[in-house]
Amino acid sequence: MNSPSAENNQGKYKFFLEILQQAPYGIIVCDEQGGITFANQLASFMLQLDNLTDSNLLCILTAVPDLSETWESLLRGTRNNIALPFSIDKNTQSGDILNLSLQASVFKESPDQKNRILIFIEDLSINETLDAANQHYTDSLENLVDEKSKELELIQKQLILSEKKAAMIETAGAIAHELRQPMTTIIGTIEMLDLDDAGDENPLNNKRLKTIRKQCLRMAEIIKQMEQLVEYKTRPYVNGSLIIDLEESSQGR
């Protein structure tokens, strides 16, 4: 009958064994000669074998460059760990290749026991896929930033243009307000002169007064349009330039 302590240790062993089986890396434990004493299911899957236990890793990975030499350097203690990339063919008709990485280090369960070699195997193909996905995401993000920057630049230009239009409309209104009073005075004075000189026999003076009065009334209408500006519409002017179209921009049109 097992003691409570033995049962507790057995429970811990099963728990840690389950952790190793669920690890995102292939995990293999070897003796000094490469004999496999433990391998999780992911390691077997990566190496395209049904069961690695009781097999020899050095015999399985004979195609890995420099594996024997680096393995010996681990056992001699001249290297603390090794990392070697290698490739194996998938068991498919497509001829696909798995790009893997082997990382190995030496450990001892206790000072009086023999060395154990702990192996981690990583699927570099997954990393390459992730790198490609990350690059695609980065490119997409850069394109999105460029698009949004252009949109913001366009919005900024539109805001500046709107501010300029508003400033021009306000300026036109202020100018019209300042011109209205002197223009009213000029028109009133012309009316008075026209009445005073009603008996003037010089027809040229009467014609001149009518011309001045007509142009002043025209200017008064322009001033009125300037005071009623609500939009900013332009029309062609000389030398290809544009000027504000008072008639189209006025609310009294």
- Kindly state the DSSP code that residue 239 receives in the 8-state scheme: G
And the tokens for 71? 């393995």
Per-residue pLDDT tens over the stretch 170-194: 888 888 888 888 888 888 888 887 6
Q: pTM higher than 0.75, yes or no?
A: no
Mean pLDDT of all residues in 67-79:
87
CA dist list (Å): 216 to 168, 202, 233: 24, 22, 25
- Tell me the domains of the chain and their CATH numbers: 4-123 (3.30.450.20)
Per-residue pLDDT tens over the stretch 142-156: 887 888 888 888 888
Per-residue pLDDT tens over the stretch 202-244: 777 778 888 888 888 888 888 888 888 777 788 888 888 877 7
What sign results for the dihedral spanned by CA atoms 42, 82, 115, 68? positive
What is the arrangement of strands in the sheet containing 81-89, beginning at the earlier edge strand?
36-39, 26-30, 116-123, 97-107, 81-89
Nearest partner of 126 among 98, 148, 145, 84, judged by Cα: 98
